[in-house]
Amino acid sequence: MKGLLLKDLYMMRKYCWMMLAVIVLFTAVSFVDKANMFFQFYPIVIISVLPVTILGYDEKCHWDVYGQVFPYSRKQLVTVKYLLGLILVCAMWLLLAAIQFFGSVVNHSGGQGDLWSFLLIVLSTGFLASGFLMPIIFKFGTEKGRLAFMIVIVLICAGSAGMTSLPSNILFRFPLSTGAVALIAFAASSIILFLSWIVSVKIYERKEF
């Protein structure tokens, strides 16, 4: 597993440096422009689907076939992509959390409870992007799954940004607090990601090369 993970990290460093540069740029903009929710969610959504990009390069160089001769099970070949996504999402989330907390201290904005709720929703968004996309990509490949890739990115970014942009008076109509909603979203997205992994493993174990 360590070898597979290192292989993906080396590929990401070689082929995805431009995407990483864009992610860094949007992360910096999110610190300056906190009112635009797009800049808050875009970095974590894009970094969550970097394993899909790596899968595309795997298919291009026929690693999906060549990798079968190594002493790795198909479950491990799938799991390493989920592990890579989880590491990237958590690292990006920690960076965004540090930026948000630093900004709240500098601006003396307070509201740490609301900030934690927002950050949980951001993390949930990263989990959802991976959870919905990965089984589709493992089933149909990156070329056929390109349309699904674009649709999921747009829907998740728009939905998450829209939810966090709701007027505060609307939240009072619901019996749950913002923090409770964020925790439910985090729990649901974690379950979806786990189920997605199970489905992807089943798909890949039955796939013919």
Residue pLDDT, tens place only, 28-57? 776 666 555 666 777 888 888 889 889 888
Most confident of 18-27, 97-106, 194-203: 194-203
**Can you say whether the dihedral through the CA atoms of 131, 189, 161, 119 is positive or negative?**
negative
Confidence tier at 173 by pLDDT (50, 70, 90): very low
| pLDDT > 90? residue 195 | yes
Report the C-alpha gap between 64 and 193 in whole angstroms.
22
Looking at residue 42, its pLDDT comes to 79
- Tell me the three state secondary structure of residue 177: coil
- Tell me the three state secondary structure of residue 1: coil
Mean pLDDT value across residues 4-10? 89
Looking at residue 177, its pLDDT comes to 65
- Does 109 or 182 have the greater pLDDT score? 182
Report the C-alpha gap between 33 and 112 in whole angstroms.
19
Hey, what are 119's tokens?
């950050």
Instruction: Give the pLDDT confidence of 48-94 residue by residue, as tens digits.
Output: 888 988 988 888 888 878 878 888 889 999 999 999 999 999 998 88
Looking at residue 83, its pLDDT comes to 94
Average pLDDT over all residues of the chain: 79
- Does 83 or 3 have the greater pLDDT score? 83
Q: How far is CA 133 from the centre of its chain?
A: 10
Other beta carbons within 10 angstroms of residue 159's beta carbon come to: 13
Report the C-alpha gap between 120 and 117 in whole angstroms.
5
